[in-house]
Chains A and B, each alone.
Chain A
Amino acid sequence: MEKFVFFGGKGGVGKTTMSAAYSVKCADAGLDTLVVSTDPAHSTSDVFDQELGDEPQAVEGREGLWAMEIDPDEEVEHHLMETKRALGDQVSAALVNEIDRQIEMAHQTPGAYEAALFDRFVDVMRSSDDFDRVVFDTSPTGGTLRLLGLPDFLEGWIDRLRRKREKSIDLYEKAAIGNNEPRRVMDGDPILARLQERKEFFEYAGETLREHAAFFLVVNPDELSVRETRRAAEGLADRGLAVRGLAVNRLTPSPDDDENGRGARYLRDRVATERAHLRTLREEFEQPVVAEIETRVEEVKGDFLTEVADELDIEAAPPATPPDGSA
């Protein structure tokens, strides 16, 4: 199994439960495991009954398990502050206000939140040398797909920017005929250096996602969830990221045969429709069904997590070749 394991799916299907259960399974198998929530509506702390923050924290009462919740707002703020600090160091007082406005505006755009989330989770992947496995509990399908699609898109964009910059500097150098000092020089150009740094960052992200990550989709046995799963699987495949398996959650338990009350009849009907959806999942999807978890009356936490972990048919073997985190 790869070092990075992602759980995705429609909202409310139980991604957090599944990723928590899987990380428990990995930790029990002796792997140092980190579970990361990238869903802005965090519920990992609820599952572990413990306040979690933006840094990995040991989960109480579980050996070899750490958890963290990414906070994009904090990351946006941090990025804004960093940029402003650089601004203060570099730019003359006369222009600071003008550029400051521009920077503020860039941090208010709708893409900022996603970019920050992306930066943070790539950071987590990069600095995960201490862990044998990192499990990502992602935000609902749409957001995740966009997020995972970012590296390719951004790599291309940054590359085009870099080429433009290179060309204009090249022209400035050519314009400096004779003893004239060119207005800009290629060597040590801070802009080119930054663009290059960013490009490497996106390259690392793209490569790691393609080579060292496994994706699982959590699905409920109902029509909406099955459809969304189909779309998500296709969307991920389009980006060269194959879904490894489907984890079916919230199956209704069937009543005993001798029961015939209203509740029992309801359950029997419900089980019948779910069977049909389960069959669709088994027959029409290329991906195997790796878990069939029954609905539990109580919240899945504590010992229940271990129970669910036992039912997960996703191997917890250590990664074959640990990716180089410092690329």
Chain B
Amino acid sequence: MSDATDDGGGALADRIDRYLDALREWAAGLYHGLVTHPAYEKIEKEAEDLEDTFMLACFPDAFGIPSPVSYYTAELLPYLEDEFEAWERRMWDRGSMLERKGQQYHF
């Protein structure tokens, strides 16, 4: 008996669900494009900048500035592979502060 009711209402419910799914996807996409994406891009950039200062504080001798603590920070290097590579890349890449900050606007 319960089977029969499900069959009847099921088709309609399915259609509503499908419609809602599509709507949700569109809304999520719109929200991501308008809000989330710029936001996390911005925060991530900020985090990268902070990471750069961290790397610079750890390894100033990479720029010829002697540091009394490089001996200690050197032991961090094996665990900083990703950071080290990204850092080097960003160091080469970065034209100016303006350019870096402007990147997020995707002109």
The interface of chain A, by Cβ under 8 A from chain B, is 76, 79, 82-83, 86-87, 89-92, 95, 98-99, 102-103, 105-107, 109-112, 114-116, 154, 157-158, 160-161, 164-165, 167-169, 171-172, 174-178, 180, 183, 190-191, 194-195, 198
Task: Tell which of B1-9, B13-21, B68-76, B91-99 binds the partner.
Answer: B68-76
With A106-B61, A194-B79 known as contacts, the answer to whether A83 contacts B74 (CB < 8 A) is yes
The interface of chain B, by Cβ under 8 A from chain A, is 32, 36, 39-41, 43-44, 46-48, 50-51, 53-54, 57-59, 61-62, 66-81, 84-85, 88
Q: A195 CA to B46 CA in the complex, in Å?
A: 22
Could you list 30 examples of A-B contacts with CB < 8 Å? A79-B71, A82-B75, A86-B75, A87-B78, A90-B79, A95-B85, A99-B77, A102-B74, A105-B61, A106-B70, A106-B71, A107-B71, A109-B61, A111-B69, A154-B72, A157-B69, A158-B69, A160-B57, A161-B57, A164-B54, A168-B50, A168-B51, A171-B44, A171-B46, A172-B43, A172-B47, A174-B43, A175-B44, A190-B79, A198-B72
Pick the most buried of B46, B53, B79: most chain A CB atoms within 10 A of its CB: B79
| Cβ contact within 8 Å between B50 and A167 | yes
| B76 CB contacts on chain A under 8 angstroms | 191, 194-195
Query: Per a CB cutoff under 8 Å, which of B50, B68, B70 touches A105?
Result: B70
The chain B residue sitting closest to A92, CB to CB, is B81
| Cβ contact within 8 Å between B50 and A164 | yes
